[in-house]
Structure 1
Amino acid sequence: MTDPIYPNDDARWAAARAKDRAAEGVFYMGVHTTGVYCLASCGGRPLRKNVRFYATREDARAAGLRACLRCKPDINRETLRWGTVETTLGLALVARSDAGLRLVTLGDDVETLKADLEKRFKHARIVPDADGLAADLKAMVDLVDRPDHRPSLPIDDQGTELQKAVWAALREIPAGETVSYGDIARAIGRPSAFRAVAQACGANPLAVITPCHRVVRSDGGLSGYRWGVERKRALLAREAA
């Protein structure tokens, strides 16, 4: 079993102790005292002397081990690559699946943004790849400075049919204009669903790309914004300039 990042058992054990989400699916950890095999990120704390490493789930099962009920290593996991970049409104985190952008968030601290990413996607392999996402990260820097610009970025937002309808409607709002939750509800043919629309706006996974900052209260006042009302105010001011 060879891997350039986890080339030996010492490296694999270090990854297991760190609960490294990037190691999920690269190798499996067998705990022979309990008879289970786990992901490197499993919350269990076995002793090193009781652990063996396996390249595949099949190898672990062939050794007589069963899947851990805590970390569920038998579940197929997608890979999300992620990176962060400094913008004029703080840090932006970008996470991408093979199909496109899955998450874009704003914040002030890398560890907090990463923890949010891992919490949202509990069953994904989370791999840092700022170099591979360089074009996406640069696009986010440009978009924060020019939220009226529409970069050609593939999107892979996942949600309910109502959420996806709301997010699509948000992307149709022209820069420099604002709408209410009721306006969006009517635009998607659900005029009485303004509360559900508000919840969908709050669940928006793609900050700035899906411009939920363009939604305001019916009286024109700023409503909430997951990434901070000051950021919302700044984005709207830039679009109005």
Structure 2
Amino acid sequence: MIASIPTTDPTADDLRWEALRRRDRDLQGAFFIAVRTTGVYCLASCAGRPLRKNVEFHDTRESARAAGFRACLRCKPDLPRETLRWATVSTDLGLALVACSEAGLRLVTLGDDADLLATDLDRRFRHARLTHDPDGLRPELAAIAAEIDGKAPALDLTLDAQGTPLQQAVWAALRGIPAGTTASYAQVARSIGRPAAARAVAQACGANPLAVITPCHRVVRADGGLAGYRWGVERKAALLAREAA
């Protein structure tokens, strides 16, 4: 559901102006900002910084266009917008940021700083409406924390990871590697019918958007070395040690 500012509120324009000043991603699509000096209309999160006296507000794109404004090339207000609900949860490996679309689990990342995780989320999904929803995501957060902490597999989560056909094939193969075992990049490449694609498999592991849920930590070098891990080799070693116990 899109957040909104009631137009019947006498302070509505002041609230919308404040939303623009803080680049509010939760209000994207709830209203549009038209800038008289440039002739464009924008989203609340646009990086532009117009003067208040040059701004007018519209409830819809159609209203802004009818008033003679064109879509901003920076924030692209005419692009379709999806809503991603997100929140963070503490785990044995630090913080996990979880983001879900209407279709399922879109992102799980690991880190130690909530602000840095949120900045990374914003960078990944520049044109999405991002809604902080820790209460609404409580079941997902609990399931993912239990998976990361090795207490219970998150079997009932619907996944909505976005990737190329090759990436999707690699990620499906990773989810088929049993806990307590590992596979090399070459072995994964052979398992998806692409024996010469070990390098592409490594790149797909690096692009994995679902930390631990899609267990790229179970992929190692041919000599058994840990190689890299997007969320830190120490976390990879801890996960493998726990699963091997």
| Structure 2, unpaired ranges of 5+ | none
Partner deviation per Cα, 1:51-110 (whole Å, 9 max, x = no partner)? 111111111112221111111111111111111111111000001111001110000111
Q: Is the contact made by 1:185 and 1:194 (CA closer than 8 Å) also made in structure 2?
A: yes
The share of aligned pairs that are identical, in percent, is 68
1:121 aligned to 114, 119, 125, which one? 125
Q: Is the contact made by 1:147 and 1:235 (CA closer than 8 Å) also made in structure 2?
A: no
**1:116: how far off?**
0.9
RMSD: 1.6
**1:120: how far off?**
1.1
TM-score, structure 1 as length reference: 0.95
Change (3 A) 1:196 1:147: farther
Partner deviation per Cα, 1:91-136 (whole Å, 9 max, x = no partner)? 0000111100111000011111111111111221111111111111
Which residue pairs with 2:97 in the alignment? 93
Q: Is the contact made by 1:103 and 1:205 (CA closer than 8 Å) also made in structure 2?
A: yes
**1:147: how far off?**
6.9
Q: Equivalents in 1 of 2:68, 2:105: separation in Å?
A: 39
2:67 aligned to 30, 40, 63, which one? 63
1:168 aligned to 156, 172, 182, which one? 172
Moved over 4 A (4+): 4-7
**1:18: how far off?**
0.9
Change (3 A) 1:200 1:5: farther
| Structure 1, unpaired ranges of 5+ | none
Change (3 A) 1:132 1:41: same
1:75 equivalent in alignment to 2:79:
yes
Q: Is the contact made by 2:106 and 2:162 (CA closer than 8 Å) also made in structure 1?
A: yes
Change (3 A) 1:180 1:73: same
Aligned residue identity for 1:54: H
Change (3 A) 1:172 1:148: farther
Length, aligned pairs only: 240
Which residue pairs with 2:42 in the alignment? 38
Q: Equivalents in 1 of 2:6, 2:94: separation in Å?
A: 31
Question: Counterparts of 1:1-241 in structure 2 under 5 Å?
Answer: 3=4, 8-146=12-150, 149-241=153-245
Aligned residue identity for 1:23: L
Q: Is the contact made by 2:146 and 2:154 (CA closer than 8 Å) also made in structure 1?
A: no
SS in structure 2 of the partner of residue 60 of structure 1: helix
SS in structure 1 of the partner of residue 220 of structure 2: coil
Change (3 A) 1:220 1:147: farther
